[in-house]
Amino acid sequence: MPSTHDWINEPLGVAEGMFAVSQSSQATGWEAKVVEFFKDQLKEKEAQTAVPSLNDVPLHYLKPDGLVKFRCLVQDMFDPEFYMGVYETVDPSTGAKTLRSGRYKDVAECSVDFSSKHTVTVERQTFYCVPIPGENPWVKEMYAGASQARVVPSTSYVPSRQKRSYEDMDVQPQKQRDAQAGSPSPAEPHGNGDCKRQETEAPSGQTTTASHLDLNFPLPGEKGPSCLVKVYEDWDSFKLNDALEVYGVLSVSPALSALADEKDALLDPSGCMETAEEQRVHSPPASLVPRLHMLYAKRLPHNNPLLPCTTPQDNSAFFSSTLAEMASVRAELHSFFTRVLLGDALAAEYLILQLVSTVYSRRDVLPLGKFTVNLSGCPAVASYAERLYQIIQQLVPSSFYLAMSLQNMNRMRLVPKKDYVANRLVSGALQLDKNTSLFLDETRLEQGQLDATGVRNVTALGNLISWQKVDYDFSYHQMEFPCNVNVLVVSEGRSLLPSDCHVRLQPQVAPVTMEEYVSSIQVHPHAASQLNKFRIYLSVARLLDYSISDNVTKSVEDDFVDMRKDDPQSVSAEDLHRLLVVARLLSLSLGRTSLSRDTWLQAKHMEAQRRSRLEQHRSVNGNEP
Amino acid sequence: MSSPASTPRGRKRGRSSNPSTPSSRGPTSPSSQRRRGQDSSTGDLMPMPVSPATDMLSPATPQDTSLFSSPRPSVLPNEVDMSSPLMYGTPSSRVEGTPRSGVRGTPARQRPDLGSVRKAPQVDLHSDAPSADGGAAASEPNAAQRLVIWGTDVNVGACKEKFQRFLQRFIDPTSTEDENAGLDLNEPLYMQKLEEISVVGDPVLNVNCQHVQSFDAEMYRQLVCYPQEVIPTFDMAVNELFFERFPDSVLEYQIQVRPYNALKTRNMRSLNPEDIDQLITISGMVIRTSQLIPEMQEAFFQCQVCAFSARVEVDRGRIAEPAVCRHCNTTHGLALVHNRSVFSDKQMIKIQESPEDMPAGQTPHTTIVYAHNDLVDKVQPGDRVNITGVYRAVPMRVNPRQSNVKSVYKTHIDAIHFRKTDEKRLHGLDEEAEQKLFTEDRVQTLKELAAKPDVYERLSAALAPSIYEHEDIKKGILLQLFGGTRKDFSQTGRGNFRAEVNILLCGDPGTSKSQLLQYVYNLVPRGQYTSGKGSSAVGLTAYVMKDPETRQLVLQTGALVLSDNGICCIDEFDKMSDNTRSVLHEVMEQQTLSIAKAGIICQLNARTAVLAAANPVESQWNPKKTTIENIQLPHTLLSRFDLIFLMLDPQDEAYDRRLAHHLVSLYYQSEEQMEEEFLDMAVLKDYIAYARTYISPRLSEEASQALIEAYVDMRKIGSGHGMVSAYPRQLESLIRLAEAHAKVRFSEKVETIDVEEAKRLHREALKQSATDPRTGFVDISILTTGMSATARKRKEEVAQALRKLIQTKGKTPAMKYQQLLDDLRGQSETAITKELFDEALRALADDDYLTVTGKTVRLLA
């Protein structure tokens, strides 16, 4: 069997070896054997980390035809292509014929004998993959730090860098405020950090400044390689917007770029089949968009580097240990959030619930478990909302900040749209991985008129919140794609968007000192270990299972009936829905996988508090709808 | 993944990848400098009555006949070698010198859709032919009849004969295709079509592959597997037959056979390498069409020195430029003359999978289609089409100088036949396009389900299981999903009867009306969901816009037209502007939509069922008011709804408990558990689709009696209290509901139980929506006139009282308005509102008793 070095550096050699064996022994199924082999090799965590990752190693440091991994999101699916699965080559000098396999390759060797009887045409599928949109810098750096593949000695991924970029961010609040509305400002400082890093690591200037080539990232201001992943098996099981970790053979042959074909276009009858634009999109230069021939891919249940990449069932040891200390971590997080939310303990509770919510099931059209919180009454001073986002950004693996300014709503593309000229799905900001936190900043609203795009965008946000789905625009028809995005709406008054739960913020800070207080909110750099605890906590709580025992069901039912008896107007079916979600999230946030009577009462109490707060506010401020 | 069979594929690949060595063949094959591959078939027309042109060419005649009359071996039994099918496609070399007009004055037209047929076996003709023959057939005695086209098992003679027999004999008495309208179904179908061709002069014969299959499965297999060889054979056969039958008819060019409806592949997603070079039919939506591409078929070269001309056929996009003039032997003296070269039309069309064919969570696939000659510009972006054509794969070249090849093929389809699936939607029913294919098993399951006595309850329970109770509403929606039977009374002047059931849901906010609508929208294949707040009249109907590409005015259809044959769900119906709502009047009864704007005047079909949801005006339902008063919708519109349901919060303990249980279970049951309890959504979908397509129940005798009784009863109920509780519209509703219920049972007959259920449901809905809050009686006039009978009576009374009051005042020709009102108020025991007073005045004015001018009331007469 080949050594570690071999299968990482020359995976094609392994595949070819197996192909040759199968040819001589007339055995079939060598493809399965190859996949099996790599799956076996990659079982060990060490082996996985030894594979260089496209996410954090610049492309030009990677060995062509070597094994790489890529953490990505399926952004678009191209049409299946037919390739020569098996073909015969003729040696021009000796005339000897050899059978070769075209699997995991883009370009066939010279002097292919086209009239050979042994040629076999096979189908494969191409996915256009981008790095997970909105993946926060801490996630990227931690993954990079865990990687053992030191391709180039000079490249160092010291985790301490991470702090530096945070400091950058903290000393430049002014700059953030001035940042362009088009690209969400908090992303800006990281961009700076990235640039710096790239300067040190990639002196040859392999910055992804492909001005003429739109790499089609869902979110503005994103960086990173995108990739054409060729899938050989079972491609029907992959879905659009799946987050994957792909292991595959890297192919960067310059022959792949569309530009190489250009001169040929006149002569080649196949050249005029596609428009120039389409060619540019479907065969971009391999130096910018490498090809990746998938050997093996796994779906990522989450993209938190601190968690083992498995489900709770498979890794019970890790999860039971975290479960034990969940309650204490929650308490810490709660006090932290209380401070951040200007001393409002109730809002802090709801913020925790919002962060651990996830759509766990769908009953016909109804998504269950979604929990969109509208945090109203946010002070408009000192860009409070942005600060809040920066803190959330430190805690969740991926997030996106959308300032709902008039300009943004009218200009941004939120809904992905099919571009028939280039034959691709042009991404929009709502093409997000599951469990991405979407932060809608409504404090940035201003007076003005929404145009047609703006109205569509607001409708799309509304649909996302109420049904957890996005209708992708296919021009002649729309297609519905379910999603699972945590939405937090921050606004001054009640939000114009629907929400599951409206919490009125009650700052405990005197308005005079507000500005000072707000600018003092930040993540302390020394609290890295605490931060990690929070990060693990939030991700784990999302993955837990949940149940309600029969007698609790009974008591919940009784409770509901009693509440209705007192005042039928006060509690509707919708309220019960919300109560059940709150109870569920509350249990999970405490690390309990089944609902207890206490938690139920606590949930009821929280809801009552929240409602009375709204009532109070309404009576103070009569015109609140 | 599939790896295709070897022989034919290998050959084809070899052919298509040859261009690396074109120079080797160019000059050595003079045959390729001939014009038309299918000139050959003109040879077959020889024995026919002759025109002067033929006479002139008579020397060529015997030769031609001998070459191409192999299907009639009796005539020329020993010309076996020469009639070898291998010659097919390259015979043009034999008729060299034949003028372009051909024997019969009917030129053949190239079929670029089938690719360069003539090139197929060429190389092998002399070298490989013996061996190929030997391998394929020659071992048999009497090899003549056994010869096949190289690489296939098609014997040209046999195939031609078979096809002619098919044309002459095929009868399909059960044909329902609209294309066959006007043809005698008991006569050979295609002979009638040939006759049509001779009259109309459009030389295209569309052949349904299903017919071929039922006639001769072997021929069908060959057609599907080797379209490139078989279709030209069909062409030959058809032309022979045609000119035999109609020797005098003049056609622009020879008849081309266009097969369609090959059942090989239905779905773009299932295309795989095995389909390469086969005849396939796929459905999809046109998303882009290119400009017309002139494709050179034949290059015309002229020698600069001696003006000698040479024609070179284009071979896979390449022209083998003759290096030496054959006449004066000048080298490199030939120049291409563009306007004497022959071009054919070509168009690139992109089609995309139709949304129904797609698995969830994937993006649609696209395929490139090339249309040639008269198929160019047959389809427009947005059209749903069924395309029959030949699937092709061409290897992509990386660099012409190195023969390094990208190991990827480009695929496209050469279109042979387009069939628009939505073309006929404007004209009439298109059951076929709607038809979903059900497997035997599926039909069996559905029928089993239908046989269950409680199928109605089961289905209604399966509808939106997450929404609690509201049994009757769900049942109503279920019936709406099935719809009534379509009836056509256009002969008697009444036009189509509405078969769709319209439903209005009104009630308190937060009673999951929107959820129901969403569910229905997701369930039906052609559903539309709009919100009353966000939609304008044009958004619902149609609007004219300028297409940015073509700069032409195009009609863009709105939600109502798009949901033709489906359900249009309109949320927040009450928030709709009056203007918008008014377009619904026509749609909801006549099922059409008339448009007159920007020079476009037309009537579109909008046979859509409307499912609307409305909130009460006062945000909470006021039980003291009538439906109309609660939702403030015009009664003209309300009366068009078959069923109006109220969704109210019942506010009763037992209900609360069940509701709580239902909701809680929603939150902890695993998905499998829930699946068990209810029918799968997919089954429900199929069930509905099946019933809608295949079942069209008719009223039985008892059922019609029951309906009559029910109607009479309804009228009677009202008449006791001096009100009308039913109008013919209600009878129609009852019929529709009864039919829909019969459909649920998969019954072709409407029986009494259907009528019973229809009555019950209708009554339930009426009870909820048309109860007069003042009296507690059901009063349909609330919905039909917007006013309950009691209210009307009250108006009468006030008017009478007023008249009396005025009469007691004696002869005063004019009175103050306010004075009169005060007097009346003082006189009456009950409170009289200003509105009531106004109405009374108006009633009297209508009787010409008085007139009201400003603030004075004048008596007339």
B171–chain A nearest CA distance, Å: 40
CA distance B745 to B753: 11
Beta bridge partners of B768: none
- Summarize pLDDT for B221-254 with one digit per residue, the tens: 888 888 888 888 888 888 888 888 887 777 777 8
* A39 close contact with B: CB closer than 8 A: no
Task: Report which of A456, A416, A461 is spatially closest to residue A441, judged by C-alpha positions.
Answer: A461
Q: Determine how many CB atoms are found less than 10 A away from the CB of residue B118.
A: 24
By mean pLDDT, which of A143-157, B433-447, B523-537 is the weakest?
A: A143-157
CA–CA min distance A307, chain B (Å): 25
Taking only Cα atoms into account, the Rg of chain B, rounded to an integer number of angstroms, comes to: 37
Q: Do residue A270 and residue B396 have CB atoms under 8 angstroms apart? A: yes
Would the CB atoms of A364 and B17 count as touching at under 8 Å? Answer: no
> How high is the mean pLDDT of chain A?
77
In contact, A490 and A443? CB cutoff 8 Å: yes
Record: contact A255-B659, CB cut-off 8 A: no
Strand partners, B394: B410
A586 to chain B, closest Cα gap in Å: 14
Q: Pick B609 or B56 by higher pLDDT.
A: B609
Q: Contact at 8 Å (CB) between B258 and B373?
A: no
One-letter amino acid of B490 = S
Query: Which residues are bridge partners to B699 per DSSP?
Result: B750
pLDDT, mean over chain B: 69
How far apart, in whole angstroms, are the C-alpha atoms of residue A265 and residue A271? 5
Cβ neighbourhood burial of B444 (10 Å; 0-12, 13-18, 19+)? exposed
Please state, in angstroms and rounded to a whole number, the distance separating the CA atoms of residues B586 and A170. 64
Give the Cα separation of A444 and A386 in Å (integer).
10
Q: What is the pLDDT of residues B673-685, one digit of tens each?
A: 555 555 567 777 7
Interface test with B, best of A73, A104, A365, A561 (most B CBs within 10 A): A365
* Residue from A83, A82, A78 nearest A128 by CA: A78
Q: Is it true that domain B278-420 has CATH number 2.40.50.140?
A: yes
Task: Give me the DSSP letters along B155-193.
Answer: -HHHHHHHHHHHHHH---TT---GGGTTS-TTS-HHHHH
pLDDT reading at B208 higher than 80: yes
Whether A79 and B512 lie within 8 Å, measured CB to CB: no
Beta strands at A291-299 and A469-473: parallel, antiparallel or unpaired: unpaired
Which chain B residues touch A544 with a CB distance below 8 Å? none
Q: Which top CATH class is B146-260?
A: alpha beta
B779 CB contacts (<8 Å, ≥6 apart)?
A: B718, B723, B725, B770, B771, B772, B788, B789, B790
Contacts of B515 in chain A (CB under 8 A): 365-366
In this structure, the strands spanning A373-376 and A501-504 are: parallel
pLDDT reading at B492 higher than 80: no
Helix, strand, coil % in chain B, rounded to nearest 5: 45, 20, 35
The Cα of A226 is separated from the nearest Cα of chain B by a number of Å equal to: 18
Beta strands in B169-307 (DSSP E): 204-208, 256-260, 279-303
Question: CB-based burial of residue B375 (10 Å sphere; 0-12 exposed, 13-18 middle, 19+ buried)?
Answer: buried
Q: How confident is the model at residue B668 (pLDDT cuts 50, 70, 90)?
A: low
| One-letter identity of residue B141 | P
Of A108, A110, A572, nearest to B510 by CB-CB distance is A572
Instruction: Tell me if B406 and A476 make a contact (CB, 8 A cut-off).
Output: no
Residue A166 has pLDDT above 60, yes or no: no
A261 touches chain B (CB under 8 A): yes
Of 3.40.50.1370, 3.40.50.1980, 3.40.50.300, 3.40.1550.10, which CATH number belongs to B440-547+560-766?
3.40.50.300
Q: Residue B43: its pLDDT value, please?
A: 36
3-state secondary structure (DSSP) of residue B295: strand
What is the pLDDT at residue A341? 85
CB contact under 8 A, B396 and A556: no
For B766, half-sphere exposure in the C-beta direction (CA atoms, 13 angstrom radius) is 25
Give yes or no for residue A172 having a pLDDT over 60. Answer: no
CB B497 within 8 A of CB B536: no
Quick one: closest CA in B to A82, which residue? B409
C-alpha–C-alpha distance, residues A366 and B467, integer Å = 10
Decide if B522 and A572 are in contact by the 8 Å CB cutoff. Answer: no
**Nearest in space to A12 (alpha carbons), one of A250, A365, A328:** A250
A564, B656: Cβ pair inside 8 Å? yes
Cβ partners under 8 Å of residue B242, min gap 6: B194, B197, B198, B249, B255
Q: Determine, for residues A121 and B671 on separate chains, whether the beta-carbon distance falls below 8 Å.
A: no
- The helix (H) or strand (E) run that includes residue B349 is strand B342-352
Task: Name every residue whose Cβ is closer than 8 Å to that of residue B28 and which is 6 or more positions away in sequence.
Answer: none
Q: Which of A216-225, B323-332, B644-653 has the lowest mean pLDDT?
A: B644-653
**What would the two tokens of residue B606 be?**
């909008």
Q: Which of A:290-329 have CB within 8 Å of B?
A: none
**How far apart, in whole angstroms, are the C-alpha atoms of residue A69 and residue A50?**
10
**CATH entry, B787-859, from 1.10.150.120, 3.40.50.11810, 3.40.50.720, 1.10.10.10:** 1.10.10.10
pLDDT tens, residue by residue, A498-530:
888 888 888 887 777 777 777 777 766 657 788
Q: Which residue of A has its CA nearest to B468?
A: A573
Q: Which residues of chain A does B318 touch, with a Cβ-Cβ cutoff of 8 Å?
A: 267
- Assign 3-class secondary structure to A551-586: HHHHHHHHHHHHHHHHCCCCCCHHHHHHHHHHHHHH
Q: Among A212-221, A243-252, A502-511, A537-546, whose mean pLDDT is lowest?
A: A212-221
What is d(CA B514, CA B546) in angstroms, rounded to the nearest whole number? 34
In Å, how far are A196, B110, B161, B167, B168 from B188, measured between CA atoms? Answer: 81, 28, 16, 7, 6
CB B673 within 8 A of CB B533: no
Residue A192 φ then ψ, to 5°: -60, -45
Alpha helical stretches, state H, B669-788:
671-677, 681-694, 701-720, 728-744, 752-769, 781-784
Instruction: Tell me which chain A residue has its CA closest to the CA of residue B365.
Output: A79
Counted across chains A and B, CB pairs separated by less than 8 A come out at 223
- Beta-carbon contacts of residue B538 (< 8 Å; ≥ 6 apart): B558
Inter-axis angle of helices A597-620 and A573-589, to 10 degrees?
120
Place of tokens 């197996």: A18
Q: Which among B2, B366, B667 is the nearest to A368, CB-wise?
A: B667
With CB atoms and an 8 Å threshold, state whether A117 touches B651: no
Nearest to A424 by CA among A284, A294, A291: A284
A14 interfaces chain B, CB cutoff of 8 Å: no
- Does the pTM surpass 0.80? The reply is no
The pLDDT, as a whole number, for residue B266 is: 65
CB < 8 Å to B510, chain A = 572-574
- Would you say how long chain B is, in residues? 861
Cα–Cα distance between A187 and A390 in angstroms, integer? 9
Residue A77 sits at the chain B interface (C-beta within 8 Å): yes
Structure confidence at residue A191 as a pLDDT band (50, 70, 90): very low
Q: Quick one: pLDDT at residue A263?
A: 43
The domain ranges of chain B are: 146-260, 278-420, 440-547+560-766, 787-859
CB A251 within 8 A of CB A286: yes
pLDDT in tens, B540-561: 777 777 766 566 666 667 777 7
Residues A452-494: tens digit of each pLDDT: 788 888 888 888 888 888 888 887 777 888 888 989 998 888 8
Of B476-480, B572-576, B764-768, give the range with the top mean pLDDT: B476-480
Nearest residue of chain B to residue A577 (CA atoms): B663
Could you give the CA distance from residue B238 to residue B205 in angstroms, rounded to a whole number? 9
pLDDT tens across A119-128, in order?
788 888 889 9
Contact with chain B for residue A110, Cβ under 8 A: yes
pLDDT for res B359: 75
